[in-house]
Chains A and B, each alone.
Chain A
């Protein structure tokens, strides 16, 4: 097999290439998913655009207020080790550290993980809970921000056009009361995809979980928002009982399938169990 492999050195150059051949182009970041698909014979690329040399594409920086910007081609390892990420959102670094193995983390990028839209991936679930925004460059260099939660539509499908590129991911600054957690349940082996994963965020004061956001991974076509759980906990003080009652609603907030990581029925139960654990951790119970 042969394909044309181009290695642009800037975002504008990359956008120009995509404008010319976007429909047939594969954008390559870390290449972990691409290589698997290629070796399984599921894709036959004719034209591959590597982001490897795009200047500053992997830059991670924190702004003066504690917001984070993570370049699309920053690897999972870059994120885990970044002092900017550790300072602003250590929970994000911890979540990303749970991805697969060190060899995968050294190669796979955060932008790639979002663009690939595998519903079993870890980073998109945590990014959705943190209400992260993808900074997207479109035709002609137009820049727009799309919440990660809205970008992911269904397995391996995003709202991005073939001529769009994820430039970076932005996570807003936390408040002093903000707590976040990412729990990943991998009953088979630690480096596996999750049977269920839960990412949750809240501003916690006086036993109340304000602005609660809960997303579950690997139990639906995309990161699934546990809206009924969020609603049930409302703005009242939470205790163990309230958490257990609310977490039971997670069973119907998800849409899992039977596979080798568990039956759909089992995954609904695990969604309940792990949502309750995540909430207890947030509430400090």
Chain B
């Protein structure tokens, strides 16, 4: 399942980049997520409660920066999480890139999400919408945070 989100932020790229790559801070933009704890350089643990109608999940796992080019301002993150109550795993590869244009910056997030187990059976469409929403809220929040 591919997801893409573009967000134009009224702040210079250097500032947006510093914020986006400060995962502990940036995580504050994911609705509902618990604080991340660092387990290794560029590796963090956390949990994310997600509710889709009557179905409640708590995704627990890790997110790691697997590739990073500060000069080009692009990075790849990998998230591995599972819900142990219902049974299911979520794996995501997320490419983040910035493009500066004038005084503002375009944030580009492209995700490839794989969902397995029971939570996948709930219906990809519903989950896709939810994941898209989360990403949208996160990008908008990062935009607000960087612009202030």
Residues on A lying within 8 angstroms of B by beta carbon are 26, 34, 37, 40-44, 116-117, 154-157, 221, 257, 259
Contacts and interface: CB of A to CB of B under 8 A. Distances in A.
Contacts of B121: 40, 42
Closest 5 CB pairs of A and B: A156-B53, A257-B125, A155-B126, A42-B55, A41-B118
A156 B85 contact: no
Contact of A44 (B85, B119, B126, B128): B85
Nearest to B55: A42
Contact of B55 (A43, A221, A259): A43
B53 A157 contact: yes
B47 to A, nearest CB: 17
A42 B86 contact: yes
Nearest to A118: B53
Contacts of A155: 52-53, 125-126, 129
A256 to B, nearest CB: 9
The SS class assigned to the A binding surface is loop
A77 B97 CA distance: 55
A259 B125 CA distance: 8
B124 to A, nearest CB: 8
A155 B53 CA distance: 7
Contacts of A26: 54
17 contacts: A37-B55, A41-B86, A41-B87, A42-B54, A42-B118, A42-B119, A42-B121, A43-B54, A43-B55, A43-B56, A44-B85, A44-B86, A116-B53, A155-B52, A156-B53, A157-B52, A157-B53
Nearest to A43: B54
A40 B118 CA distance: 7
B85 A42 contact: no
Contacts of B53: 116-117, 155-157
Given A42-B54, A155-B52, A156-B52, 8 more contacts: A40-B121, A42-B55, A42-B121, A43-B54, A154-B129, A155-B125, A157-B53, A257-B125
A170 B142 CA distance: 44
Contacts of A156: 52-55, 126
Interface string B69-101: 000000000000000011100000000000000
A97 B122 CA distance: 26
A112 to B, nearest CB: 12
Nearest to A157: B53
A283 B71 CA distance: 64
The winner among A26, A34, A44 for most chain B CB atoms within 10 A is: A44
B2 to A, nearest CB: 13
A34 B122 CA distance: 13
A156 B130 CA distance: 11
Nearest to A155: B126
Interface in B17-48: none
Interface string B49-76: 0001111100000000000000000000
A257 B52 contact: no
A42 B115 CA distance: 14
Nearest to B122: A42
